[in-house]
Homo-oligomer: A and B are copies of this chain.
Amino acid sequence: MDLYAITVPQFCKMLHNVELWLDAGITYAKAKKFEPDQLVGMRLSPDMYALDRQVQSACDAAKFACASLTGKTPPAHPDTEKTIEELRTRVRSVIAHLETYKREDFVGGAERKVSPKWLGGKWFTGQDYLIQVAIPNFYFHVTTAYDILRHSGVDTLGKSMFMGQLPIREG
């Protein structure tokens, strides 16, 4: 089990799935004759993030997970997206960044000290951070983005579009 396999390809696949869900949102909006960017402000509760911030947070969770486990500095993204098209650009930018990582970048990552700003100097081991912080946080935001679109009526989304392509083998 290697850290690269748990992070880069799976984060990229899920972020690519998010892009497909946004496409489905546009198609639904056009069929129902409403402005697709209305979806960007939809949320499940007044004190939860709207779709824009869920997508931004999913992007950040993936980006910071890989940076923290490898000691690399990720590119900045100032969270200014206001449209589906801008969210799509953000997702693609993060996927392109993640694709620059190599398996060897993650060597020793499980033992690395990971000290996110919000911990004020305290830290996690790389392994604890990945399993207990980065992965749950990433899936929280990805799933809530999906749930917002489903709750908004986007009727072409289904569980198989959440999961994306699966490496099924035969024989």
Contacts and interface: CB of A to CB of B under 8 A. Distances in A.
Interface of A: 1-3, 5-6, 10, 13-14, 44-45, 47-48, 110, 119, 122-125, 127-128, 131-133, 135-137, 139-140, 143-144, 146-147, 150-151, 153, 155, 159, 162-163, 166-170
Nearest to A44: B151
Contacts of A125: 167, 169
Contacts of A137: 163
A124 B167 CA distance: 7
Given A14-B136, A162-B136, A147 B2 contact: no
Nearest to A140: B143
A163 B144 contact: no
A45 B144 contact: no
Q: Specify how many copies of this chain sit in the oligomer.
A: 2
A6 B31 CA distance: 42
A127 to B, nearest CB: 6
Given A147-B144, A150-B48, A122 B1 contact: no
A117 to B, nearest CB: 14
A139 B14 CA distance: 13
Given A6-B1, A122-B169, A147-B147, A136 B133 contact: no
Instruction: Point out which of A124, A136, A139 has the most chain B C-beta atoms below 10 A from its C-beta.
Output: A136
Given A6-B131, A169-B123, A136 B110 contact: no
